[in-house]
Structure 1
Amino acid sequence: MDADSPPAPQKKTRTHESCHRFSKLLLISFIIFLLLLKMLFSVALITLSKKYSQPLDEKEIIRELNYIELECTKQHSLLKVWSCCLNDWKPFSSHCYFISTDAASWRESEEKCSSMGAHLMVIHSQEEQDFITKILDPDAAYFIGLSGAGHQQWRWVDQTPYNESAMFWHPGEPSSDNEKCVIVNHRDSGWGWNDVPCSGKQESVCQMKKIYL
């Protein structure tokens, strides 16, 4: 029994050496993998640097933006910032505007705007009022994002304050507590606001913030 005991430690030693060689091989493989990964990252970084260190072709940029249905203008030539609106939307200041010629109630019109990531138009300045009325049909009427709870308590759909110094009511309007939604339309005196029943069918104007790239 004592004569047969020496082989056991030799087997254990061989197993330990095999594990050590495997661990060393695994470590070397991992180091090689990290070096390859670092090389690939460096090549990618150099490629990107070369691409973006050169002036971009504006015609090519515009072509790509149109492909994804955006119409953009350069906002800042040094920072290369572009302000964009979706195709068929009109840009003004920091917003985009869409004229819907599908007649619908005020609520239906707001839901349609919301489905496009927008809301019915909110008007806070004479410049904004003049901008939109120049591109509207004077023979039509358009819902905007102003509605009331009666007794002349008006509120904008985006919850911004109702500024009484920037109101564009037609003479004699608003005229009824039963007419709780607002349109912009044209009369002999020019463009202005008029309160109407919310259930009436009118065209509308949607508004969203510009997209910056």
Structure 2
Amino acid sequence: MASEITYAEVKFKNAPPAAAVEVPPETKKHEDHPQKYPPWLPWLISLLLLLVCIALALALLVVVPLFHSADQPTALQQNFVEWECITTVPQGKERVLRCCPKGWIRFQEKCYYLSDDEMSWDETVRNCTGMGSHLVVINSEAEQVFLTKELQKFPQGINFYIGLTAEAVGKWQWVDQTLLNEKAAFWRRGEPSNVPVEKCVAIHTSPEIHNWNDSRCESHHRICEVAAPSF
């Protein structure tokens, strides 16, 4: 056993020395002369990456929701299949296709539905809302004149609800929660009566522009209104 140990030691001591590892000339050259970059280059790269991240964030927060909302049909679009459209070019803007459901009438950028049946006030509100619209809110004399002319196509003596009611006597408010502007009110002579039982407002089929009347919230025709969607 001692001789085996001696042999092993002799064999180890007589082993040739390990060969030196030669480094390729190109590697030596690279190590001897490392490439240098401007000290401001990492800062520039970081700034560019930051700007790219900001741009992507803005795209996700602004652009994507806009496209998503454009793809979602409104309640009005879900309720109607047939449309009648006109092309308009607002001043300084691109061409726009404005549409109203078939059977509705258009004035400026709004669509109106004048019913040929009667409903109570509550049913009228639900009916307009169910179509994706609301009872008409009259904001100008031009709109009042337009509706008055359209009502002449119906028999005399018919009343049409508009979206004006009184939560309290004499406190008139539109269905969009805006208060009545008395300068843009078109009451008949002697109206409104301002009595507790007459809280709803209807338009008479009268050629006179001042044709509003407060009345009981019973069965009348209705005028629904909605902004004309663009396609």
TM-score for the superposition, normalised by structure 1: 0.64
Match of 1:74 among 67, 83, 87: 87
Compared CA separation, residues 158 and 105, structure 1 to 2 (3 A): same
Q: Is there any run of 5+ residues in structure 2 with no aligned partner, and where? A: 1-79
Structure that is richer in strand per residue: 1
Q: Indicate the structure (1 or 2) with the bigger Cα radius of gyration.
A: 2
Ranges of 4+ aligned residues in structure 1 off by more than 3 Å: 186-191
1:109 aligns with: 124
Letter in 1 for 2:150: I
- Name the counterpart of 1:133: 148
Partner of 2:109: 94
Assess if the C-alpha contact under 8 Å between 1:133 and 1:191 holds in 2. Answer: no
Contact map agreement 2:85 2:100 (CA 8 A) in 1: yes
Q: What is the rounded CA distance, in whole Å, between the counterparts of 1:188 and 1:100 in structure 2? A: 19
Rounded Cα–Cα distance in structure 2 between residues aligned with 1:190 and 1:157: 22
Distance 1:132 1:188 in 2: 10
One-letter code aligned to 2:191: E
1:180 matched to 2:195? The reply is no
After superposition, residues 1-213 of structure 1 pair within 5 angstroms as: 68-76=81-89, 79-136=94-151, 137=154, 138-175=156-193, 176-187=195-206, 191-198=210-217, 200-213=218-231
Q: Distance in 1 between matches of 2:207 and 2:146?
A: 19
Write the distance in 1 (CA, Å) between the matches of 2:89 and 2:209.
36
Distance 1:82 1:188, change over 3 A: closer
Secondary structure of the corresponding residue to residue 169 of structure 1: coil
One-letter identity of the residue aligned with 1:103: E
User: Does the 8 Å contact 1:185/1:191 carry over to 2?
Assistant: no
Q: What is the deviation of 1:76?
A: 1.9
State the alpha-carbon separation in 2 of the partners of residues 182 and 83 from structure 1: 30
Q: Deviations over 1:25-66 (max 9, x none)?
A: xxxxxxxxxxxxxxxxxxxxxxxxxxxxxxxxxxxxxxxxxx
Deviation, structure 1 residue 186: 3.8
1:7 alignment counterpart: none
Counterpart of 1:195 in structure 2: which amino acid? D
CA distance in 2, matches of 1:120, 1:139: 20
- Amino acid across the alignment from 1:80: R
Give the superposed CA RMSD.
2.0
Superposed CA offset, 1:171-193 (max 9, x none): 11111232000000045856511
Q: 3-state DSSP class of the match of 1:130? A: helix
Alpha-carbon distance in structure 2 between the residues aligned to 1:197 and 1:129 = 22
Structure 1 partner of 2:48? none
Identity %: 38
Alignment length (residue pairs):
146
Q: How big is the shift at 1:106? A: 1.0
